[in-house]
Structure 1
Amino acid sequence: MGSETEHPGVDAAEQAAAMLAAAGMPRMPARVMMALVGSPDAGYTAAELGDRLGVSAAAVSGAVRYLVSMRFIQRLSRAGDRRDRYDLVDDAWAGMIAANAPLYTALASQMEQIADENTDAPTSTARAREIADFLRFLAARMPELADEWRAGRAAPGSLDR
């Protein structure tokens, strides 16, 4: 495994990956994704990711497949280079947040159905309806928040970090 001077931000990337894993993302994809947050502008090859993370090519391969399928990372091909490089997809986080709106709407419908089928338990029924209301709120607001964030980033005078 490389030293901190070879790979700045390794500790922060590992901590961020641990947070994502605690939230439910598989551990190796979380580690690969956070390594790519701090990648060189050209991205990393699978071998470079393996070296950075101190893991096998097979572990990186599975994580890359998962992250590509989730549209978090992209494969970059270069003319004359047989090895693909990987980097984050621009706007992946905001896009993923907004794309979950239909899931929240579907979950809200299921919560309403649970409430409709549980009329003998008024506290549980009220709780299920409250969850449904919150999920509908998320379904409406998450895409709006992502759009608001994008508009703020594109506005004249906005900080370009």
Structure 2
Amino acid sequence: MNDKREQWQAAEQLALVLTEGGLQRMAARTLAVFLFTDQESVTAGEIAERLEASAGAVSGAVKSLLTVGLIERLPAPGSRREHYRLRDDAWATLFTSQNTVIQTMLQAARAGIDSTEADDPAHRRLTQMRDFYEFLLGELPALLQRWHQHSSKEAKRWRLDSHPSTGH
């Protein structure tokens, strides 16, 4: 699938699947740009051009992808535009305490608990919410450590497969 048109069709199909999975449409299409680009980084203007979308729509999508930790802002000395790229650890970051959505949910649960009485059904539900996110954040370090070990092995295997030695 070296044809750019076929590649872009695959990117749009991925964006559709991500949208059906709950991601906002423009965020899904923007994420597809990051996944399929052959550039080290892209600007919001380049994304807007590629998607034939407004600067405002792309700006909102970029902000949401930054918020969940899938992309990062890069320093771009000499450029007046912000440059972004997919994080190397994007998928793992989605499930870490660096994910501001998880932190926001946890803070909201705590604030709700503080505002309700112990015998209030809302208090019980909010306590379950808090306990879930605290449990999740507590379990994630070990899971992510296993993931990093696994991905290191896969990266090593990929390097060996991609660059076989010419020796014995």
CA distance in 1, matches of 2:46, 2:110: 45
Deviation string 1:11-60 (CA, Å, 9 cap, x unpaired) is 3332243135x2xx443223212321112132333233123222112221
Change (3 A) 1:141 1:108: farther
Identity over aligned pairs, percent: 28
CA distance in 1, matches of 2:69, 2:123: 37
Alignment gaps of 5+ in structure 1? none
1:117 is paired with a residue of what secondary structure?
coil
In the alignment, which residue of structure 2 is the partner of 1:93?
91
In the alignment, which residue of structure 2 is the partner of 1:17?
18
Determine if the alignment matches structure 1 residue 7 to structure 2 residue 12: no
2:88 is paired with a residue of what secondary structure?
coil
Deviation at 1:160, TM superposition (A): 3.9
- The 5 Å alignment of 1:9-158 reads 9-20=10-21, 22=22, 25-76=23-74, 83-99=81-97, 116-118=118-120, 134-155=132-153
CA distance in 1, matches of 2:154, 2:46: 38
CA distance in 2, matches of 1:78, 1:134: 39
Bigger drift between 93-102 and 146-155 goes to: 93-102
CA distance in 1, matches of 2:124, 2:81: 56
CA distance in 1, matches of 2:117, 2:149: 38
Contact 1:77–1:85 at 8 Å: present in 2 too? yes
Structure 1 vs Structure 2 CA RMSD: 4.0
Bigger drift between 143-152 and 65-74 goes to: 65-74
Bigger drift between 106-115 and 30-39 goes to: 106-115
Bigger drift between 142-151 and 75-84 goes to: 75-84
Deviation at 1:135, TM superposition (A): 4.6
Alignment gaps of 5+ in structure 2? 160-168
- Give the alignment's TM-score, normalised by structure 2: 0.60
Deviation at 1:4, TM superposition (A): 3.0
Contact 1:77–1:83 at 8 Å: present in 2 too? no
Change (3 A) 1:13 1:53: farther
CA distance in 2, matches of 1:102, 1:80: 34
Structure with bigger RCO (C-alpha 8 Å, 6+ apart): 1
